[in-house]
Amino acid sequence: MDSSIQLYSHPVLHISNCVTVQLNERNYLLWKTQFESFLSGQSLLGFVNGAIKPPPVANTLTHIDGLTTEVPNPDYQAWLRSDQVVRAWLLGSLSEDILREVVHTTTTQDVWTTLALHFNKVSSSRLFELQRKLQVIEKLDKSMDDYLKEIKRICEQLTSIGSPVSEKMKIFAALHGLGIDYEPIKTSIEGSMDLEPQPTFESIIPRLTGFADRLTSYNTGMEVSPHMAFYANYSGKGRGSFNGKPGGNQGKGGQFSTKGRGFPQQITSGSSSPGSYNTENRIMCQICGKPGHPALKCWHRFNNSYQYEELPAALTAMRITDVTDHNGNLWVGDSGATAHITSSHQNLQQSQPY
């Protein structure tokens, strides 16, 4: 042999570094792939698929006088030792529930065949159940990664029982389970289904996850906690503050104004030039509903028993704050506001300067 040619020596592999998953009811294909790769690299795959047949248990020895005797076959003992090593590897990678299925086996091939029969049961009920899961699966509150992984697991189980799912059906199943927020990306992917080459399920995964990430970034920070309130420290000076003086809703000058964003404005009929109208006549009292005075000047502002005869039922329902439920919690009327303001932060459990 040419001295320049160096024979390749197989590296010493430990099974824990090659078979990293423990077999359970959901990961048979992944476990099988890792084990076949490891055994093939060690030239031991024949023990599980039956390619390495066991030699005879005993050899027949013929004596000079013509008598024959049975002696143990050393080749069988070597085969059995290797077979039991591979069987121990298989048993060590099984979960407790799966281990109960193979306790009666004696050889490596028995273990492998029993597992294949257990996970590849081609029955109408199992086929129908997996196909139904693929048709009704929805994303809902799951992350996009978990949602797509669940679809892949179902398709792998269908493949293992001899009913593989086409790439087009995988894509349609993934798009069908998405909500209305994903209509733009669904329309885009569906439009590319008739193009050549056709997209695969793996090729649309980055598009779906990227779109989901953008939706998440758009929604971040837009929701307001229902328990959040704002604390306004009134100094009595400057724009927007209220000093309690008569006519204190004129805008600037240290007085409170209802003009601007967030306040409904009174609209009067008829035409008039700026400065020619009477501000007092445009004011509508929020307590009694009569024009000409604000709520702070209303005679009924301290009368808790007063109710305006045409007061809407929604406002009347706000007088239930003295009612408690069976847990002792007060009933609070829903004003529809997303945030509230109080003059003292001591009234709040959680406050933020506003």
Domain boundaries defined on the chain? 15-119, 124-219, 235-260, 283-323
First to last CA, the chain: 87
- Cα dist. 67→62, 71, 72, 172, 249 in Å? 6, 13, 17, 74, 126
For residue 140, which amino acid is it? L
- pLDDT number for residue 313: 53
249: burial class by Cβ within 10 Å (0-12, 13-18, 19+)?
middle
Q: What is the pTM of this model?
A: 0.45
- pLDDT number for residue 120: 76
- pLDDT number for residue 90: 92
Average pLDDT, the chain: 76
What is the token pair recorded at 22?
A: 């423990």
- pLDDT number for residue 204: 94
- pLDDT number for residue 67: 80
Torsion of CA 149, 153, 158, 162, to 10 degrees: 110
- pLDDT number for residue 275: 46
172: burial class by Cβ within 10 Å (0-12, 13-18, 19+)?
middle
**Segments in the chain below pLDDT 70:** 1-13, 122, 220-281, 307-326, 328-335, 339-341, 343, 354
Digit-coded pLDDT (tens) for 248-258 = 444 444 444 44
- pLDDT number for residue 203: 93
What is the token pair recorded at 200?
A: 């695969």
Non-local CB neighbours of 338 within 8 Å, separated by 6+ positions: 224
Report whether 99 contacts 91 (CB < 8 A).
yes
Quickly tell me which residue has 């029993």 as its tokens. Answer: 114
Digit-coded pLDDT (tens) for 80-138 = 999 999 999 999 999 998 999 999 999 999 999 999 888 877 677 888 988 999 999 99
